[in-house]
Amino acid sequence: MKRMKGTVRFAWRWIGPVVFVALIWNTNMSQVSEAWRHGRAGLLLAAAGLNAVILLVKAWRWRRLMQLQGIHYRFGPAARYYAIGSAMAAWTPGRLGDFGRALAVHRDRKVGLGRAASSVIADRVLDAVALAGVAAIGAAFLPGPNGLLRLAAAGIVASAVAAWFLVRGTQGGMVRRGAERIVGKFGRLGAAGEEVGAALDGLSDLARPALGVPVGLTVMATAVTFLQGYFVARSLSIDVGFWTLSVALAAVSIASLLPVTVAGFGTREATLLLFLGPAGIRWDQIIAFSLAYVVIISGSLALMGAAAWVMRPGASGVVVESNP
């Protein structure tokens, strides 16, 4: 039975790469190369540079979320660990590398791992809800035959609603008690149940008007992310509207949460084909855009994460603020 589960888990993680290879196999790569040769380097560099803006805005948001939960962390270390976590997330299944930030807070601030993880969960939920909203609304109104797009929109809305109820449900403690009972069934893993409950309770601390600041920062970061993708598309002379591409990129971000691939290979290209194909964008243009996006956006993010790793502070009081 264990071997069967291991085989299924291994096969599940290779879904994306298999889809990616199939799409590349059926793509005229000479046209892709031609698009790259005529790409405008200035726009690509601008797109890469916007990663710094996105990281700073999101790091400020994460720090604000921690403050609302009673965890005080200086902006400099928060920005460094956000860059490291984002770089790791870009190259791990389901963006799991993002939770490296929780380990840093757990170590530096001496809070429970569940409490530390709650700020990362909230950070990701804000992004997911914003992107799901754009993708769902946009998918329903994109031009072309949109039966599949509406189905995708329904799935995205369901995901956003589930994320919202995850946050709202913690207010009454019901989700916490349920999580503790489930994990506590495993005896020695009862402590894990307490950490899960602490993470969910950390989310309930955010349900107040002060959450408006992180929400505003989410809108800002999301808009810059869409602008970043638009720069890549225009550098390759792809004639796509800003809104249409934004909807596609939002759907790509939601699909990247599935732990079926690494660095979004396969799921990204398939999602772009689903959303941009009906808008008249050719197959080879979509593949050219997707590969350029990986190299420019994910590549520059990895470099920023590496630089942040070199500059990361040690586990000492210099990374935390004094409690008010």
CA distance 251 to 132: 7
More confident residue, 261 or 102: 102
Beta bridge partners of 320: 73
Q: What is the mean pLDDT of residues 87-116?
A: 80
pLDDT, greater one: 200 or 98: 98
* Phi, psi (rounded to 5 degrees) for 225: -60, -45
Pull the structure tokens for residue 97.
Answer: 């590398």
pLDDT exceeds cutoff 60 at 115:
yes
What pLDDT was estimated at residue 210? Answer: 78
Task: Specify the 3-state DSSP secondary structure of 266.
Answer: coil
Token duo for residue 82: 């956000």
- Please state the rounded mean pLDDT for residues 2-14: 60
For residue 21, what pLDDT is reported? 85
Tokens 């998918």 locate to 139
Res 183: pLDDT: 39
Cβ(280)–Cβ(259) under 8 Å? Answer: no
34-81 tens-digit pLDDT: 888 888 989 999 999 999 999 999 999 999 999 888 888 999 999 999
- Give the pLDDT confidence of 242-261 residue by residue, as tens digits: 999 999 999 888 887 777 77
Which residue from 83, 91, 81, 88 is spatially nearest to 116, judged by alpha carbons? 81
Report the distance separating Cα 22 and Cα 138, nearest Å: 28
Residue type, 121: I
Q: Given this model, what pLDDT does residue 163 score?
A: 52
Confidence check: pLDDT of 131 > 80: yes
Of 240 and 96, the structure prediction assigns the larger pLDDT to 240
Distance CA 124, CA 207 (A): 15
**Higher per-residue confidence, 304 vs 148:** 304
- Those residues with Cβ within 8 angstroms of residue 193's Cβ, 6 or more apart along the chain or in another chain: 179, 180, 181, 182, 183, 184
Measured between its terminal Cα atoms, the distance across the chain in Å is: 53
| pLDDT-derived band at 9, boundaries 50, 70, 90 | low
Model pLDDT, residue 145: 53
The total number of residues written for the chain in this structure: 324
The percent of residues in the chain predicted with pLDDT above 90, rounded, is: 24
Compute the distance between CA of residue 32 and CA of residue 285 in angstroms, rounded to an integer. Answer: 7
The percent of the chain in helix, strand and coil, each rounded to the nearest 5, is 80, 0, 20
This prediction has a pTM of: 0.78
pLDDT digits (tens, 9 = 90+) for 134-178: 887 777 776 655 555 555 555 555 555 555 544 444 444 444 444
**Tens-digit pLDDT profile for residues 176-234:** 444 444 334 434 434 444 444 445 555 556 666 778 899 999 999 999 999 999 999 99
Q: How far apart are CA 284 and CA 319, in angstroms?
A: 47
